[in-house]
């Protein structure tokens, strides 16, 4: 089976909010297209950030890697979304490793090009700042969840987030059209594939959701929300 996150006209990305069509074209012309194969590493945690990029089609996975090989998924980057914001402005190190989940087409701006463009288009700087603020809030929320919630609650929260970000509402529920293995859900919630599997099985029996291989259909979002609050399994 073929999974695809589709593509998006990069000129429509939120980071270009407030720009005219001509201005958007200027940005796109300054960008270097880049294609990443499946499982290709696009950026490595700890390496100096040299470029800022936008996903045009495909899907990136941002990871925190542990010394002993475990990985934690920070977030996915979908078509139209930027990557490498803060970091390229300061030529600091990438805080994450970026991996292409499927064949992915990127638009990349080297650091100096980006800085020159941002001086001419302060609005884009503000848009990028907005993204960063959102990701910061998100990171802090996850820190809190990891520190204070049970696995089932964190899993519920994670599914709800995925629904919002990548959900397509259908007749009998919201479909999460996203190639997610149990292992990936575990890496998103800070758990193990066993516990995730058990929890999902339970929820399936209760009619809250239906899980095919690598696909999830949430039938009762409200019950999921309840589960994300209470600690009852």
Partner DNA sequence: CGCCGTCGTTGCGCGAGCGCAATGTTGTAT
Partner DNA sequence: ATACAACATTGCGCTCGCGCAACGACGGCG
213 binds, among a copy of itself, DNA, none (CB under 5 to 8 A by kind): DNA
What size, in residues, is the chain?
A: 233
The contact pattern for a copy of itself, residues 89-128, with x = CB under 8 A and - = no contact, is xx-xx-xx-----------------------------x--
127 in Cβ contact with 15 (< 8 Å): yes
Name residue 211's beta-bridge partners: 216
Question: Who's near 199: CB < 8 A, 6+ residues apart?
Answer: 151, 152, 155, 233
What are the φ and ψ backbone dihedral angles of 32, each rounded to 5 degrees? -105, 120
Residues that bind DNA (CB under 7 A): 1-2, 150-152, 180-183, 190-195, 197-198, 200-201, 204, 211-214, 233
Closest contact distance (angstroms) between CB of 145 and a copy of itself is: 9
Nearer CB in complex with DNA: 75/178: 178
Nearer CB in complex with DNA: 15/186: 186
24-32, 33-41, 105-113, 138-146 -> range binding a copy of itself (CB under 8 A): 138-146
Give the number of other Cβ atoms within 10 Å of residue 230's Cβ.
Answer: 11
Ramachandran bin of 66, using left for φ above 0, alpha for ψ from -120 to 50, beta for the remaining angles:
beta
Nearer CB in complex with DNA: 20/148: 148
């Amino acid at each position: 089976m073929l999974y695809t996150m589709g593509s998006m006209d990069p000129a429509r990305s939120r980071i270009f909010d407030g720009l005219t069509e001509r201005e958007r074209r200027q940005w796109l012309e300054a960008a270097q297209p880049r294609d990443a194969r499946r499982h290709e590493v696009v950026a490595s945690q700890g390496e100096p950030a040299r470029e800022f990029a936008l996903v045009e089609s495909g899907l990136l996975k941002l990871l925190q890697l542990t010394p002993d090989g475990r990985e934690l998924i920070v977030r996915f980057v979908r078509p139209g979304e930027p990557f490498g914001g803060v970091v390229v402005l300061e030529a600091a190190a990438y805080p994450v490793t970026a991996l292409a989940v499927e064949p992915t087409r990127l638009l990349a701006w080297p650091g100096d090009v980006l800085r020159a463009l941002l001086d001419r288009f302060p609005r884009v700087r503000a848009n990028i700042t907005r993204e960063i603020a959102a990701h910061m809030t998100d990171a802090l929320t996850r820190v809190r969840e990891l520190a204070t919630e049970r696995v089932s609650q964190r899993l519920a929260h994670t599914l709800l987030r995925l629904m919002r970000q990548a959900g397509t509402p259908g007749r009998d529920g919201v479909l999460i059209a996203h190639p997610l293995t149990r292992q990936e859900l575990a890496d998103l919630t800070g758990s193990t594939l066993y516990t995730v599997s058990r929890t999902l099985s339970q929820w399936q029996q209760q009619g809250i959701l239906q899980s095919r291989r690598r696909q999830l259909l949430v039938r009762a979002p409200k019950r999921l929300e309840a589960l994300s609050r209470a600690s009852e399994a």
